[in-house]
């Protein structure tokens, strides 16, 4: 066997070994690099991820466009949320996933939304589903800014604006928008305790299935929306519609809270002293 033939056989053997290695690799090793350093939030059947570079990625069910990639195709791996064809959504600082819709807060204080909008939960003035992000606007179709935080319930959305005022839009059959009505809203309305009084100084918000929570600077918590199962924490357990904020009282008055969260029919809080507090439905233990 001459030298040229030997070298050729050696090269072919090396190539075969390499191909065998690659063929034996798990499928994910042949895919793009994994997404790391992220903030995650999950909807009913879809998931959002915010990377440190301000881009948003999504995967899961996409029947209403809740992945924001311009399609209705379900994805089993992350796809990038696109502001428009070929242009990714960037500059995002927070994300929130509802049942079939998604929200993103940008560094300029604007909110962008996509997915289902049957009840106006996208906040752009229409009941049309969106497969790409649209900006949340007011009733005059003017873009809104000045937002500092967002939360997504099943079919409603919340946002805090500069100064600590809370705004809500979307499904409102139980008063979960907190505007003293039970009518659905396709653009944001301000949460109010009465016709002329609006709570301010809100530092955090949370949205459940049909109720909402707000944490005040003084460590007290407000709640509104569906009142069944005691999820509002104001002492009532009936299926009442509470369309304006009420104080969460606890057994002896709830104060000193530093964080809140809302589940389907229950509510959670973390106190300054590290206690975990819960109220509402406990049917699953």
pLDDT at 252: 55
DSSP string, 65-134: STT-SSS---EEEEEE-EEETTEE---EEEEEE-SSEEEEEETTS-EEEEE--TTSTT-SS----EEEEE
* Cα–Cα distance measured from residue 164 to residue 202, given in angstroms and rounded to the nearest whole number: 4
pLDDT at 283: 80
Q: Which residue has the tokens 């690799």?
A: 25
pLDDT at 225: 97
The residue extents of the domains of the chain are: 1-31, 146-285
Asked whether the predicted pLDDT for residue 240 surpasses 50, the reply is: yes
What is the per-residue pLDDT across 138-167, written as a single tens digit (0 to 9) for each? 999 999 999 999 999 999 999 999 999 999
Asked whether the predicted pLDDT for residue 7 surpasses 80, the reply is: no
Asked whether the predicted pLDDT for residue 11 surpasses 70, the reply is: no
Among 2.70.98.10, 3.30.2030.30, 3.30.420.40, 2.130.10.30, name the CATH number for the domain at 146-285: 2.130.10.30
Asked whether the predicted pLDDT for residue 285 surpasses 60, the reply is: no
Asked whether the predicted pLDDT for residue 8 surpasses 60, the reply is: no
pLDDT at 125: 98
What is the per-residue pLDDT across 13-38, written as a single tens digit (0 to 9) for each? 343 333 332 233 333 323 334 556 78
Mean pLDDT of 271-275: 93
Q: Which of 5-19, 72-86, 248-262 has the lowest mean pLDDT?
A: 5-19
* Cα–Cα distance measured from residue 184 to residue 186, given in angstroms and rounded to the nearest whole number: 7
Q: Which of 95-104, 144-153, 271-280 has the lowest mean pLDDT?
A: 271-280
pLDDT at 196: 86
DSSP state of 143: B
Cα–Cα distance list, 113 to 39, 69, 185, 244 (Å): 17, 12, 15, 25
Asked whether the predicted pLDDT for residue 2 surpasses 50, the reply is: no
What is the per-residue pLDDT across 187-217, written as a single tens digit (0 to 9) for each? 999 999 988 899 999 999 999 999 999 999 9
pLDDT at 279: 93
Q: What is the share, in percent, of the chain residues with pLDDT greater than 90?
A: 76
**Average pLDDT of the residues of the chain:** 87
pLDDT at 195: 81
Q: Which residue has the tokens 């909008």?
A: 117
Q: Is 210 left (phi over 0), alpha (psi -120 to 50) or beta?
A: alpha
What is the per-residue pLDDT across 38-60, written as a single tens digit (0 to 9) for each? 899 999 999 999 999 999 999 99
């Amino acid at each position: 066997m001459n030298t040229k033939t030997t070298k050729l056989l050696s090269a072919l053997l090396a190539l075969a070994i390499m191909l065998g290695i690659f063929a034996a690799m798990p499928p994910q090793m042949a895919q793009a690099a994994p997404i790391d350093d992220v903030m995650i939030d999950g909807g009913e059947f879809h998931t959002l991820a915010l990377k440190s570079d301000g881009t948003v990625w999504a995967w899961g069910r996409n029947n209403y466009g809740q992945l924001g990639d311009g399609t209705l195709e379900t994805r089993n791996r992350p796809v990038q949320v696109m502001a428009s064809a070929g242009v990714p959504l960037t500059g995002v600082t927070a994300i929130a996933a509802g049942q079939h819709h998604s929200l993103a807060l940008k560094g300029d204080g604007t909110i962008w939304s996509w997915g289902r909008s049957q009840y106006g939960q996208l906040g752009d003035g229409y009941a049309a589903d969106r497969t790409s992000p649209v900006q949340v606007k007011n009733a005059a179709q003017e873009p809104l800014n000045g937002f500092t935080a967002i939360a997504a319930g099943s079919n409603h959305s919340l946002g805090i604006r500069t100064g600590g005022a809370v705004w809500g839009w979307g499904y409102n059959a139980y008063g979960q928008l907190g505007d003293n009505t039970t009518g659905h809203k396709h653009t944001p309305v301000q949460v109010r305790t009465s016709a002329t009084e609006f709570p301010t100084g809100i530092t955090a918000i949370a949205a459940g299935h049909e109720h909402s929570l707000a944490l005040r600077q003084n460590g007290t918590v407000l709640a509104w929306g569906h009142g069944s199962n005691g999820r509002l924490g104001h002492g009532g357990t009936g299926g009442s519609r509470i369309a304006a904020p009420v104080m969460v009282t606890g057994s002896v008055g709830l104060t000193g809270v530093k964080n809140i969260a809302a589940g389907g029919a229950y509510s959670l809080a973390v106190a300054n002293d590290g206690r975990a507090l819960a109220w509402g439905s406990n049917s699953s233990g």
